[in-house]
Structure 1
Amino acid sequence: MRLVRPATQTHVLTLVLSSLCALAVLVVAAAAVVRAAGLAVVVAIVALAIASVLGAFVAVRLHTLKRDAAELEHLARNRADQVSVLAHEVRTPLAVIRGSAELLAEGRPGPLTERQVRFLRTILGGAETLSVLSEQLLVEARIDAGIFSLRLEWTELRTVVRESVDELRSVHGHRIVLDAPGPPVSARIDAQLIKQVLINLVSNAVRHSDDDRVVTVRLSRSEDDVTIAVSDDGAGMSVAERQSIFTRNFSGERSRDSGGSGIGLYISRQIIELHQGRIYLDTLLGRGTDIVFTLPIEGPR
């Protein structure tokens, strides 16, 4: 329920009352001159009265719209601040959990059994999921509040892609293949956000394919753009899924589990569009899915 401040109520009532007073005066004037001036003057006076009332209505409506816009902006900024605090509070314990798990995975305290390795991979996967989710919620809140800005720098993209793939290999049991031959490719991007997009897309591919399937990440360059594709040979998507894949809360009908938050692909589209790039998919039911995005080498203009 929206609360209207007393000052706002007074202002609106003043506008309405003044309009009604003006209307009453004009009606009295019309009655006084009706016999002497004739119908034309009466019509003019009535027209002025109607214009006065309509003007007051428009003024009240504009005032209400401005107030609502200010309240929505205030709420969005508050939400972004709250999510930012939450994300900060979550990062520290997650870093401790991931660091400890990685030390165990390296075998420093001693060798692990096969069963312990499986448990350890579950811990790392859960920590990675929470870390990505906190970043996604933070980006979404800032975009919705209109306070989000890119940190653009010239970045070697092959390095970003390779680091992302290496990180994902340590978390997921799938075989993740990197296909990025050729010389270094530099582009003006927000590297942290593009890394988040890659994690989102690969995690989505893993979630929609069996453990024995392969997920492939490809990178190529044209004259003005860089193209990155994430492909899987999983179940593919139905028509309904294709239409809603980049919307909030998408999870997919054939997802192997419900571990996805449902906002990863939506946030990925927002990030790519902020870079003035494009994101699209190519999929057939039963034949896998390719999600492809392009980035302008010079960055957004």
Structure 2
Amino acid sequence: MTGQIIAGGALLLALAVVGYDRWRTVRTIRRLDDMLTAALDGSFSEKTFDESRLSALESRLARYLTASALSERNVREQKDQISALISDISHQTKTPVSNLQLYAQLLSEQPLTPQGKDCAAAISAQADKLQTLIEALVKTSRLETGILALHPQPGGLSAVVERSAAQYAPKATEKGITLTVRQTEGFAVFDAKWTEEAVCNLLDNAVKYTPSGGAVTVEVKNYELFSAVRVSDTGPGISEAEQAKIFGRFYRAQGAWQTEGVGIGLYLTRQIAEKQGGYVKAESMPGVGSAFSLYIPREA
């Protein structure tokens, strides 16, 4: 009888120990879950001040969150400083660039030698390039820092595509390129102004790199989740190795150094696409041509 009592007591003790360990484990998991939830919503603070492992973990998590917040604040401050600097540069260079363009035009109207005319034309071209670069930098900087926000609204893409194509039709005709606008009906959630900017960047690249006698086509393709504005050309194409780099800021493809541009159009287009929940896809084959598609969500 005594042995049974002892065995029963031992069993109860074992069950109590198991139950206590289980309770401690559940309490620890709940506390860890509370810590992670607080860390995610920004309300985390140390609550356990003893020599336990949980207290040490809280202390380490608090230090990590403090360092992360400091790093995020530093990055944000640096972005603000860069944005302010670019805005200042834009403001300070506006008048000098305008003067350069004006004097280059006046100079070209004077009786000049052939060499002098070439120099005047070069000055004008470089002034225009500088103005384009500054404008692109300001737009990109303001998009990256959130100073300029996109406001996507549901609507049809037809008007945006047709306006964009109309802007580049004269340039295509002057260069001897056939610019064709196909199916433009499509519905998406987008910011009309910035989407037009993105489509114009794609058209600008297509017309710029397509040789005389070539063709550029713009059309809208509709899918289940996205509508895509596709711009294709019969230009030189892009190698597979370079396709991963062309969306980088200031990247110029090999052999493109003689072509006008500063290498920021595709980067800006990708920024615009991503801020609307979309993306840009490039398809190309050297010697055949390229196609860039701007994918925009059909629903918010």
Pairwise TM-score range, normalised by the shorter structure = 0.5 to 0.7
2:67 is the alignment partner of 1:64: yes
**Mapped partners of 1:163, 1:104: distance in 2:** 31
Query: Normalising by the residue count of structure 2, what TM-score does the alignment of the two structures yield?
Result: 0.62
The amino acid that maps onto 1:83 is: I
The residue matched to 2:292 in structure 1 has which SS?
strand
CA apart distance, 1:208: 4.0
**Mapped partners of 1:104, 1:82: distance in 2:** 32
For 2:89, the equivalent position in structure 1 comes to: 86
**Mapped partners of 1:115, 1:274: distance in 2:** 47
Query: Normalising by the residue count of structure 1, what TM-score does the alignment of the two structures yield?
Result: 0.62
The residue matched to 1:86 in structure 2 has which SS?
helix
| Aligned-residue identity in percent | 24
CA shift in 2, pair 1:195/1:93, >3 Å: farther
- Contact conserved, 1:80 with 1:142, CA < 8 A, in 2? yes
**Mapped partners of 2:68, 2:118: distance in 1:** 56
CA apart distance, 1:265: 1.1
- Contact conserved, 1:213 with 1:233, CA < 8 A, in 2? no
**Mapped partners of 1:183, 1:234: distance in 2:** 23
**Mapped partners of 1:290, 1:158: distance in 2:** 16
The residue matched to 2:281 in structure 1 has which SS?
strand
For 1:15, the equivalent position in structure 2 comes to: none
CA shift in 2, pair 1:102/1:268, >3 Å: farther
2:300 is the alignment partner of 1:292: no
2:80 is the alignment partner of 1:77: yes
- Contact conserved, 2:160 with 2:196, CA < 8 A, in 1? no
The amino acid that maps onto 2:138 is: L
Equivalent residues in 2 for 1:208-227, closer than 5 Å? 208-210=209-211, 212-214=212-214, 216-220=216-220, 222=222, 227=228
For 1:251, the equivalent position in structure 2 comes to: 252
2:233 is the alignment partner of 1:237: no
- Contact conserved, 1:209 with 1:256, CA < 8 A, in 2? no
**Mapped partners of 2:97, 2:261: distance in 1:** 18
CA apart distance, 1:80: 1.2
The residue matched to 2:136 in structure 1 has which SS?
helix
For 1:130, the equivalent position in structure 2 comes to: 130
The amino acid that maps onto 1:270 is: Q
User: For 1:269-299, what per-residue CA distance to the aligned partner results, in whole angstroms no more than 9, with x for missing partners?
Assistant: 1112223344212211211112222445x7x
CA shift in 2, pair 1:59/1:273, >3 Å: closer
The residue matched to 1:237 in structure 2 has which SS?
coil
- Contact conserved, 1:207 with 1:255, CA < 8 A, in 2? no
User: For 1:169-219, what per-residue CA distance to the aligned partner results, in whole angstroms no more than 9, with x for missing partners?
Assistant: 69xx63344322679989775444334334433443455454x35352423
CA shift in 2, pair 1:243/1:181, >3 Å: closer
The amino acid that maps onto 1:72 is: V
- Contact conserved, 1:217 with 1:228, CA < 8 A, in 2? no
- Contact conserved, 2:186 with 2:222, CA < 8 A, in 1? no
**Mapped partners of 1:199, 1:123: distance in 2:** 25
User: Could you say what the CA RMSD is over the residues aligned between the two structures, in angstroms?
Assistant: 4.4
CA apart distance, 1:240: 0.6
Equivalent residues in 2 for 1:272-291, closer than 5 Å? 272-291=273-292
**Mapped partners of 2:203, 2:258: distance in 1:** 15
**Mapped partners of 1:184, 1:229: distance in 2:** 12
**Mapped partners of 1:241, 1:209: distance in 2:** 18
Equivalent residues in 2 for 1:119-268, closer than 5 Å? 122=122, 125-150=125-150, 156-165=159-168, 168=171, 174-180=175-181, 189-205=190-206, 208-210=209-211, 212-214=212-214, 216-220=216-220, 222=222, 227-257=228-258, 260-268=261-269
CA shift in 2, pair 1:174/1:119, >3 Å: farther
CA apart distance, 1:68: 1.6
- Contact conserved, 1:180 with 1:218, CA < 8 A, in 2? yes
**Mapped partners of 2:152, 2:105: distance in 1:** 31
CA shift in 2, pair 1:68/1:196, >3 Å: same
Gaps of 5+ in 2: 1-47
The residue matched to 2:244 in structure 1 has which SS?
helix
The amino acid that maps onto 2:93 is: V
